[in-house]
Amino acid sequence: MTSHILIQLDQITKVYQAGEVAIWALRDINLVVKRGEFVAIVGQSGSGKTTLLDILGCLSRPTNGTYWFAGQSVESLSEQALTVIRNQYIGFIFQTFHLLPRKTALENVQLPLQYAGVSSKEQSLQSLTMLDRVGLLDRAQHYPTQLSGGQQQRVAIARALVNQPKILFADEPTGNLDSCTGKEILSMFQALHEQGQTIVMITHDHELAMNAERRVTLSDGQVINDESVLSSLSLLQDTHELDS
Ligand SMILES: Nc1ncnc2c1ncn2[C@@H]1O[C@H](COP(=O)(O)OP(=O)(O)OP(=O)(O)O)[C@@H](O)[C@H]1O
Ligand SMILES: [Mg+2]
């Protein structure tokens, strides 16, 4: 039987050493993410959101505590094993898109498949399918500078998903987009979530966070709130019904 738990953090702490000063970016974080969940992580600037996502995405290691990814302790894994996990199980989306400027949309989407050793024929087939899913088949041969911000982010989404990752991490995915384009990207996330994709998204925007099913609030490196958004919405509705 497969576990419903995809991610589990036990007492995770991250301390940065900046010269003489120790910065406690994360303190004793306990967090469980189940398969299929759509979680928003919110919190003020400097509260530790990116630090947390970097650890979740196996881009950096915690100072203390244990991170379980799909039942495996990440601590025990070699750099090589972590690279495989990042490449095959994790999709990443960033505020500034992080597309390679000298590669076309198609070539950017192909990269993870290339690293995974997929044949070039399969690479283009799967990448074109993904570009089609994000509505950019007609832009496959365009370079990032020839695309709008929203289109670049859609290419980044296609690249993040082309390997069918177990989880999609997004750090302020709409931060560089106007609100209308941001909503478009968010509805894409919701559609993915409805298809079963597990998503953890960082956002400053409370309205965006309301679209996730769960909201985790960080403050000064600690989880100060972890709530189901749907239940708070239905609570609002209930109160409303009582009022009327
Ligand atoms: N490489 C680093 N070296 C030293 N301190 C760091 C480093 N990276 C982050 N910090 C510190 O750790 C804390 C958490 O930073 P982090 O980037 O995780 O915050 P954040 O919630 O993502 O903020 P923002 O919303 O501004 O992106 C901050 O106090 C920051 O100054
Ligand atoms: Mg950040």
Q: Are residues 145 and 45 in the same domain?
A: no
* 231 and 187 belong to one structural domain: yes
Ligand nearest to the CA of 47: 1
**Segment 2-10 mean pLDDT:** 90
% of the chain surpassing 90 pLDDT: 83
Which of 145, 165, 185 represents a domain boundary (last residue)? 165
Q: What residues are in contact with ligand 1 under a 6 Å CB criterion?
A: 16, 18, 23, 25, 43, 45-51
Mutate to test the pocket of ligand 1, among 47, 55, 223 (most ligand atoms within 8 A of CB): 47
200 pLDDT higher than 90: yes
pLDDT value, residue 148: 95
Nearest CA to ligand 1 atom 1: 16
Q: Do 131 and 158 contact (CB within 8 A), yes or no? A: yes
Give residue 233's pLDDT.
52
Q: What is the DSSP letter of 45?
A: T
Domain count, the chain: 2
Please indicate, yes or no, whether residues 132 and 177 belong to a single structural domain of this protein: no
The model's confidence at residue 238, banded by pLDDT at 50, 70 and 90, is low
Query: pLDDT tens-digit profile of 54-71?
Result: 999 999 999 999 999 999
Same domain, 219 and 192: yes
What is the Å distance from ligand 2's center to 174 Cα? 13
CA of 38 to the centre of ligand 2 (A): 19
Q: What is the mean pLDDT of residues 13-27?
A: 96
In a domain? residue 239: yes
Tens of pLDDT, residues 25-42:
999 999 999 999 999 999
Rg value, the chain, Cα: 19
193 and 209 part of one domain: yes
C-alpha of 216 from chain center = 14
Nearest atom of ligand 1 to the alpha carbon of 14: 12
pLDDT of residue 231 exceeding 80, the answer is: no
Per the prediction, the chain carries an average pLDDT of: 92
- Which residue, chain included where needed, has tokens 């239905």? 234
Lowest mean pLDDT among 55-69, 74-88, 224-238: 224-238
Helices (H), the chain: 49-56, 79-89, 105-115, 120-133, 149-161, 179-194, 206-209, 229-243
Q: Tell me phi and psi for residue 29, to 5 degrees.
A: -85, 125
What is the whole-number distance in angstroms between the Cα of residue 199 and the centre of ligand 1? 22
Q: How many angstroms does the Cα of residue 54 sit away from the middle of ligand 2?
A: 10
**Ligand that lies nearest to the alpha carbon of residue 42, given by its number in the listed order:** 1
Q: Which domain, by its residues, includes 132?
A: 96-165
Residues 122 and 64 in one domain: no
Q: Are 168 and 198 in contact (CB under 8 A)?
A: yes
Dig out the tokens for 17 from the structure. 């050493």
Pocket test for ligand 1, best of 23, 27, 41, 172 (most atoms within 8 A of CB): 23
Q: Note whether residue 243 is domain-resident.
A: yes
Per-residue pLDDT for 2 more than 80?
Answer: no
Exposed/middle/buried for residue 162 (C-beta within 10 Å: 0-12, 13-18, 19+)? buried
Phi, psi of 242 (to 5 degrees): -65, -40
- Residue 46's CB: how many other CB atoms inside 10 A? 14
Q: What is the pLDDT of residue 207?
A: 80
Reported confidence tier of residue 144, pLDDT bands at 50, 70, 90: very high
| Domain identity same for 173 and 70 | yes
The answer to whether the beta carbons of residues 11 and 63 sit under 8 Å apart is no
**What's the CA-to-centroid distance between 244 and ligand 2, angstroms?**
42
Q: Which residues contact 128 (CB under 8 A, 6 or more apart)?
A: 106, 137, 140
Is residue 179 located within the same domain as residue 237? yes
Listed residue (233, 238, 188) closest to 206, CA to CA: 233
